[in-house]
Amino acid sequence: MTARSAIRAGALIVLLAAAASLWHQRYRETLPPRDIEALLATEDIPGAVLAVRDASGAERAMAYGRSAAPGTTLDASTRFPIASLSKPVTASAVRRLIAHGALGPDDAASAWLPVLSQQGEDPRMARITVRHLLQHTSGLGDASDPLFDGEQVRGCDRAIETVLQRRLDSPPGTVMRYSNVGYCMLGSLIERVTAQDYATAVAELLDLPDTTALTLGPPSGLSHQGHGLAAGDWQLLGAAGGWFGDAGTLAAIFSTDAQDSSIPAMPVEGHQTPSYYGLGWRVWPTATGDRLTHFGILPGMFSLAVSFPDGCSAVILMNGRPRSQETFADSLAVFLERELPHPHGNAK
Quote the pLDDT of residue 143.
64
- Please give the pLDDT value at position 26: 41
Separation of alpha carbons 9 and 16, rounded Å: 11
- Are the CB atoms for 64 and 76 separated by under 8 Å? no
pLDDT above 80 (res 23) = no
- Contact yes or no for 144/103 (Cβ under 8 A): no
Q: What is the CATH number of the domain that holds 246?
A: 3.40.710.10
In a domain, 52, yes or no: yes
Average pLDDT taken over every residue of the chain: 85
Residue 2, domain member (yes or no): no
Q: How many domains does the chain have?
A: 1
In-domain check, residue 262 = yes
Q: Would you say residue 348 has pLDDT above 50?
A: no
User: Which pLDDT belongs to residue 27?
Assistant: 39
Q: What is residue 243's DSSP assignment?
A: E
Determine which of 1-15, 93-107, 306-320 has the lowest per-residue pLDDT on average.
1-15
Q: Mean pLDDT across the stretch 163-172?
A: 91
- 347 lies in some domain: no
151 domain-assigned: yes
- As a whole number of angstroms, the distance between CA 134 and CA 50 comes to 27
> 48-101, pLDDT tens digit by residue?
999 998 888 888 899 999 998 888 899 999 999 999 999 999 999 999 999 999
CB neighbour class for 237 (10 Å; exposed up to 12, middle 13-18, buried from 19): buried
pLDDT band at 332 (very low <50, low <70, confident <90, very high): confident
On whether residue 17 sits in a domain, the answer given is no
Torsion of CA 203, 296, 222, 67, to 10 degrees: 160
Segments forming the whole domain that contains residue 225: 32-339
Angle between the 325-339 and 33-42 helix axes, to the nearest 10 degrees? 170
pTM for the whole structure: 0.87
The DSSP letter of residue 219 is P
- CA-to-CA distance for 313 and 291, rounded, in angstroms? 10
